[in-house]
Structure 1
């Protein structure tokens, strides 16, 4: 499908991957419909999008956990622009905590945003796309939808669910004669976004981006390419691709490696953090941001080296223990 002049709806558009994806489509001359809870941030993104020649933007404050609000988002998009060519579900929240210490209200909220938010988005998008006879739904999952990690149980569960939703829809749509409606799932590795700053946290340690860290622009480019050439699932980031591939061969070893890496590098050893609900129940203040400050070539290179060393050490340790048995 041609990207230019497409009408694109994006949830989670106030920050991170959603925000950068909106800008990527705006640069292609698309009409972008921006959805998130923060109206001030959405207005800022809309102004930035409209600076690109030919781009049009509509900001629609939306809580994706509210199915009626998401239906209204689709209605406003079609009333304003006549159709929906692409729908990108990118809204996500997370909580860091040992399993027994996660407040159940926070656990449910992560699942409500990251799973039911995508369900609401898919229902609204596919209703329009089936009528049109064409369209592309892109769901942003994560490599933790394949290789889970400790301390983010609800997030990992949600990202597995997003993959399952995409797979089921891809099976069902052709059976209903909707061969030109595509469902794609994107699985990013660690991305430089404000997610970690906004996360709920009950570990006592500051949540940091687990290396290696990739730019949200990398994910946005992948999403744009999927509109031109739809694919079932795409992993973003070479380390992520390596771990996903290896998990299919030696799942136990990769599970252990991820446990070591998350414990040592996902939570700061130097910076404590007080208990916090993060942005789960109320949006973060301010105009939003695309990046979280975890990028930079030198920092990324150092983190990649540290990660490779850590993974090699973890693999060796696991192999030694396996041999000892």
Structure 2
């Protein structure tokens, strides 16, 4: 009898809730065996049991702090021993803090950077150490519109996401240089309805919210699986992501002043933040949190456009032609004015 083909294995970091949990469910629906990495052990153990029972796939819960490089590499080794060779690695884990820079400590910046940036670096390194041996595999780093256009009150998170983009671009060139067939993608997300707005560190005194428009985490999960299964360099999810990035390219100073006014009210509600609200910056928050946050009434789950590098090049080409046309028109007008003054 011919041997049955091995099932594909995906590793999802930050799988305990939010986009990471939605990704785990999305890949499981597609028939992947799933390794679930998270600081909070009980949630991923329960999720592994649910995926095995409902989806009939293999699932392995691996409690790990993505800021610990040795622990992440050890987790990758355990996954390959117990679940199989890693085909896809998705870096989702993140941590943020809502506060102006003046209200943050050096340790706040350090911790947010360790999880959100170095966590992706360590995950990528662990995946590459295995994928290089086989010269195959896909790594998806999860970025944000905030990786190209930073906003007030999230300086630590924005700085980390900018770093993720720089790291991903540098590594991609190295993979090309080495002639490797390992795919590396960056998916920039818009505002997503996840529990982070209730458990992220917050020094503002008011409850945080995602900047509208808001999308459900399943939308992000579908985009991430698309990037993993197709050779795409970059992927922007949603009109709001593309608008923010292009606007900053064309008029960054205007965007600075706009966000000085709108960036605060867009991220904070009028409701005071409860004094006993949980915070997951330094320690995981226990409890059975799912993929969704408290914004189901406004979050969109229908068709959301995906912009890959092909669309980006076309848009930027059109922008460049438009600017060239304006420059030529201005030059003609200036010559006509000079002629009239002679």
Fold similarity call, TM over 0.5:
yes
Q: 1:64 touches 1:121 (CA, 8 Å); kept in 2?
A: yes
The CA distance in 2 between the partners of 1:173 and 1:86, in whole Å, is 16
> Partner residue of 2:188?
187
Query: What's the TM-score once normalised by structure 2's chain length?
Result: 0.82
Provide the rounded CA distance (Å) in 2 between the counterparts of 1:285 and 1:198.
Answer: 10
Distance in 2 (alpha carbons) for counterparts of 1:272 and 1:222: 32
Change in CA separation of 1:132 and 1:294 when aligned onto 2, cut-off 3 Å: same
Within-5 A mapping of 1:81-96: 81-96=83-98
CA deviation after TM superposition for structure 1 residue 277, in Å: 7.6
Return the index of the structure with the highest Cα Rg: 2
Is the CA contact (8 Å cut-off) linking 1:194 and 1:291 kept in structure 2? yes
Q: Do structure 1's residue 45 and structure 2's residue 56 form an aligned pair?
A: no
User: What is residue 135 of structure 2 aligned with on the other side?
Assistant: 133
| Offset of residue 105 of structure 1 | 1.5
- Give the aligned partner of residue 19 of structure 2: 17
Instruction: State the Cα deviation string for residues 93-129 of structure 1 (Å, max 9, x = none).
Output: 1001121111221221001111111111011001111
Contact 1:219 1:236 (8 Å CA) reproduced? yes
Equivalent of 2:161, from 159, 162, 173? Answer: 159
- 1:222 and 1:202 map into 2 onto residues whose CA distance is 32
Residue 27 of structure 1 corresponds to: 29
Gap regions ≥5 residues in structure 1: 302-325
Q: Please tell me whether the aligned partners of residues 201 and 276 of structure 1 are also in contact (alpha carbons under 8 angstroms).
A: no
Equivalent in 100, 103, 108 of residue 101 of structure 1: 103
1:283 alignment partner, SS class: coil
Q: Are 1:220 and 2:221 an aligned pair?
A: yes
SS state of the match for residue 51, structure 1?
helix
How far off is 1:257 after superposition? 2.8
CA contact (8 A) 1:19 1:290 kept: yes
Deviation at 1:76, TM superposition (A): 1.0
- Please name the residue that 1:67 is paired with: 69
> Equivalent residue for 2:174?
172
Q: Secondary structure at the match of 2:250?
A: coil
CA spacing shift, 1:26–1:109, aligned 2, 3 Å: same
SS at match of 1:141: strand
User: In the alignment, which residue of structure 2 is the partner of 1:255?
Assistant: 256
C-alpha distance 277-27 of structure 1, shift in aligned 2 (>3 A) = closer
Deviation of 1:258 (Å): 3.2
Q: What is the rounded CA distance, in whole Å, between the counterparts of 2:233 and 2:267 in structure 1?
A: 29
How many residues end up aligned between the 2 structures? 295
Using structure 1 for the length normalisation, give the TM-score. 0.86
Tell me: CA distance 1:94–1:277, structure 2 relative to 1, closer, same or farther (3 Å): farther
3-state secondary structure, aligned to 1:248: helix
Larger CA deviation: 18-27 vs 39-48: 39-48
Contact 2:58-2:83 within 8 A present in 1 as well: no
CA contact (8 A) 1:148 1:258 kept: no
